[in-house]
């Protein structure tokens, strides 16, 4: 049995405290995960995990092994690609998470380019507006838009997304087109929050280079970018969103840009990954591809 595979399985079980979740992360049955850990314990002659009906926890020996083999496994991934100059030979699974709108409108339309260059990389793309746990859920990297909150991860800036204020033609016919901040008192803002119940930011804009917020009324609050766009297309109010995701609607007239002198600050785009000395080459190459993609999108 491949000793490296046993170690990889043990690391995932330790990180997730679950045989079931580790199996889902690795694409293995729970029984196989259990067999891997048992084989590793027999090989080393040490008990590595405490198993109860509620959770799995590393023993003291298990913690020592976990710390020693994390970097070793990452180093092995690096060694596998050390002498591969041709990116087409990159192989292995790559698990990535990104916001729904970015996946649907920016990444997926161009992903065939990456697949054509690296056909042996097995991609798993998660698209959700919730903040996933990169380590516990087994992601190699995650794409983030806006302010970053998790300082335990390494952040690589990729660029920025310019913003736009817009509304549907039907909404503007019914309520008029706002031309000044004072006009907004007669308008509604569709509020976006990451968690329902949180306080909406209001209308955001730059004044003398500094961000400002103007409280605005609104009858609809959403926590999903698809619902945010749909509410705007349905005439429920104004939205403020990255122009990259709205170009088609603006070009066809389904949405109209307003208040060009009062735009929100651009949103930072970053890719995050765990604090590891060695990153697999396939992750580095994919992050570089993302950076070039964001640069193209930002300059379009």
Does residue 152 surpass a pLDDT of 60? yes
Domain 163-265 has CATH 3.30.420.40: no
Query: Among 108, 123, 105, 142, which Cα is nearest to 225's?
Result: 105
Say how far apart CA 87 and CA 90 lie, in whole Å: 6
Give the span between the Cα atoms of 219 and 75, in whole angstroms: 53
Same fold, 87-159+268-299 and 163-265: yes
pLDDT at residue 67 greater than cutoff 90: no
Domain limits, the chain? 3-80, 87-159+268-299, 163-265
Q: Which CATH code is given to the segment(s) 87-159+268-299? A: 3.40.190.10
Q: How many percent of the chain have pLDDT more than 70? A: 92
> Is residue 229 within 8 Å of 239, Cβ to Cβ?
yes
What pTM was estimated for this model as a whole?
0.70
For residue range 75-108, what is the model confidence (pLDDT) as tens digits? 676 666 555 555 446 777 888 999 988 899 899 9
pLDDT for position 21: 85
What is the structure's pLDDT at 78?
Answer: 60
CATH number of 3-80: 1.10.10.10
Question: Do residues 158 and 244 make contact, with C-beta atoms less than 8 angstroms apart?
Answer: no
Shortest CA distance to 93 belongs to which of 138, 50, 135, 57?
138
């Amino acid at each position: 049995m491949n000793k490296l595979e046993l170690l990889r399985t043990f690391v995932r079980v330790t990180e997730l405290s679950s045989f079931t979740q580790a199996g889902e992360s690795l694409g293995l049955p729970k029984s196989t995960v259990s067999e891997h850990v048992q084989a590793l314990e027999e090989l080393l002659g040490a008990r590595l995990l405490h198993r109860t009906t509620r959770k799995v926890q590393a023993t003291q020996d298990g913690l020592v092994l976990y710390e020693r083999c994390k970097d070793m496994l990452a180093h092995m991934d690096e060694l596998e690609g050390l002498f591969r100059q041709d990116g087409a030979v990159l192989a292995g699974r790559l698990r990535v998470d990104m916001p729904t709108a970015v996946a649907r409108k920016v990444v997926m339309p161009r992903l065939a380019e990456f697949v054509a260059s690296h056909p042996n990389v097995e991609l798993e793309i998660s698209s959700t507006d919730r903040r996933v746990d990169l380590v516990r859920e087994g992601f190699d990297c995650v794409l983030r838009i806006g302010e970053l909150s998790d300082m335990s991860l390494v952040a690589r800036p990729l660029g920025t997304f310019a913003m736009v204020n817009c509304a549907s033609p039907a909404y503007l016919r019914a309520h008029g087109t706002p031309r000044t901040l004072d006009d907004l008192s007669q308008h509604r803002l569709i509020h976006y929050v990451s968690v329902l119940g949180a306080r909406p930011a209001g209308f955001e804009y730059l004044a003398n280079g500094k961000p400002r917020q103007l409280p605005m009324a609104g009858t609809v609050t959403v926590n999903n970018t698809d619902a945010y766009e749909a509410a705007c297309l349905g005439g429920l109010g104004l939205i403020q969103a990255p122009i990259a995701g709205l170009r088609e609607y603006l070009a066809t007239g389904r949405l109209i840009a307003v208040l060009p002198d009062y735009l929100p600050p651009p949103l930072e785009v970053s890719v995050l990954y765990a604090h590891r000395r060695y990153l697999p080459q396939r992750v580095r190459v994919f992050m570089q591809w993302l950076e070039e993609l964001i640069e193209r999108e930002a300059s379009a």
